[in-house]
Amino acid sequence: MKPCVSTAHSMFKKLAESALIDYQILDPKIEFDLDATGKKIQYYNVSSQYLDNFIARFGNYRQHFYSSYVSVDSSVPPHTDIVDRVNINFYIETGGYQTTFYQSRDHDSKWTYADHGDGHVYNMDSLEQIGSFVAQPGDVYVLNGKIIHGVSSAMAQPRKFLQVSANDLDYDQVLDILDSLC
């Protein structure tokens, strides 16, 4: 397994590996409402030898990374992440969702999540698309959580993925670490 990267982007990168992963979902960590009908994004602790091995290969940086199982019921509006600066997503069920990255034309048209620090949700009217991808089951992507991004699908199916995240390293640092493993 080589997490070598293919194309350079400042917002996301597909890793040159395809992973079908053994895992066990543990207790819930945190959840956020996505709309008024009870649709949620839910994070769980996860036990996975595959993810443990993946993180172990980061050597001295391994203590910066943690793993989750994430279940999402619907589309997610354009936002920057509250906690995670960088996410490595291992897609299990993709539901046809497109992940789109944006830049803001109007820096005032954002509003903060209540009491959650540095994350923001953005008004679509103020945004310009700068890149996107549609993941397939088994795909592995690195995502820059501090670039505005949203996830949408006409099919409204659940989306499930395993995630290795870092909240005290930035995106370029994580890419450098991944490149150093090649």
Residue 81 vs 139, nearer CB to Fe ion? 81
Residue 1 or 41: the one with the smaller Cβ distance to Fe ion is: 41
**Which region among 42-50, 75-83, 162-170, 174-182 touches Fe ion (by CB under 5 A)?**
75-83
Residues 6+ apart with CB under 8 A from 84: 145, 163, 165, 166, 167
Instruction: Name the DSSP letter for residue 61.
Output: G
Touching Fe ion, residues 92-151 (CB under 5 A): none
CA distances from 31 to 77, 110, 149 (A): 16, 21, 18
**In the numeric block, which tokens belong to residue 61?**
């940086």
Among 9, 48, 81, 177, binds Fe ion (CB under 5 A): 81
Minimum distance of Fe ion from residue 179's CB (angstroms): 23
Q: CB-wise, 62 or 120, nearer to Fe ion?
A: 120
Distance of alpha carbon 146 from alpha carbon 135, whole angstroms: 20
Least distance CB 87 / Fe ion (angstroms): 7
Site stretch for Fe ion (CB under 5 A), options 80-88, 100-108, 152-160, 174-182: 80-88
From 15, 19, 21, select the one nearest 87 (Cα to Cα). Answer: 15
Q: Does 165 bind Fe ion (CB under 5 A)?
A: no
| Cα–Cα distance for residue pair 21/25, rounded to 1 Å | 12
Residues forming the site for Fe ion (CB under 5 A) = 81
